Amino acid sequence: MDENVIDPCSAKRLPKELPTDPMRWAKAWLDEAVSRMVSRNPNTMTAITVNEQGQPSGRQVLCKDFVEDPGYLVFYTNYKSDKSRHLEHNDRIALLFHWDSFGRQVRLEGRAVRSPAEESDAYFASRDWGSQLGAWGSDQSAPLESRATLIAQVGRRAVKLGVNAATSLKSIARSDRPMISRPPHWGGYRVWPHRIELWIEGEDRIHDRARWERPVTPGDGDEFVVGNWTGTRLQP
């Protein structure tokens, strides 16, 4: 890297002249939080979607990929969950990271589109076997009578996938584990932000804050065409 390029992780403040690559800053902060394991799930982000009545609703998801250029983030979920139903109706989404021990916040706003099937297949194949079964076992966000009903449902679906019913799932030897393919109702979303805000905690609540915006327009297939970021410093 050019030695004149500022290292976002050692910067105590946003540079006087705002950087033109805020996604690089956000990714560097995320990577540092992950490499230093600042919490059990340092890649956690709050994802806010809007339902059919216009009601926003937030929940935590894990950021599984952060592609700096052209600039999108990926999370995985059940395509029949409430959040996915919201996104199918309204693809607008907000994402929010907060790393308290670093005094850093990143806010992103944009549009979500399902990841290409091959990408979801590849990620699903990389997951541990128990999580693969879990994706088949739960109808995320659907009402449930009891925990016992859920356990029975997970067991029944495991048997359908070729798992030996008599054994507890954890005790099944690796060699006896059938290959589990990705359920069609499970996969990734790519979030293409058109707005990003970086926030660094300051003394006496005089925080450092700037927002960048860029044009994002649908391109071929799943891709979006993005323009350059323009930054504006904001009062805290």
Ligand X SMILES: Cc1cc2nc3c(=O)[nH]c(=O)nc-3n(C[C@H](O)[C@H](O)[C@H](O)COP(=O)(O)O)c2cc1C
- Smallest separation, CB 61 to ligand X (Å): 4
| Cβ proximity to ligand X, 131 vs 232, nearer residue | 131
Least separation in angstroms between residue 132's CB and ligand X is 14
Q: Give the footprint of ligand X on this chain (CB under 6 A).
A: 41, 44, 57, 59-62, 75-78, 81-83, 140-141
Backbone angles phi, psi at 208, to 5 degrees: -105, 130
Burial (Cβ within 10 Å: 0-12, 13-18, ≥19) of residue 195: middle
DSSP string, 155-223: HHHHHHTT--TTS-GGG--GGG----PPPTTEEEEEEEEEEEEEEE--GGG--EEEEEE--EEE-STT-
Cis amide leading into 143 (omega within 30):
no
Least CB distance from residue 47 to ligand X, whole Å? 8
Q: How far is the CB of 157 from ligand X (least distance, A)?
A: 18
Phi first, then psi: what are they for 104, rounded to 5°? Answer: -130, 140
Nearer to ligand X, 75 or 229 (CB): 75
Residue 63 Cβ vs ligand X, minimum distance, rounded to whole Å: 8
- For ligand X, the closer of residues 130 and 215 by Cβ is 130
141/164 with CB nearer ligand X:
141
| Joined tokens for residue 14 | 């946003």
Q: Whose Cβ is closer to ligand X: residue 182's or residue 214's?
A: 182
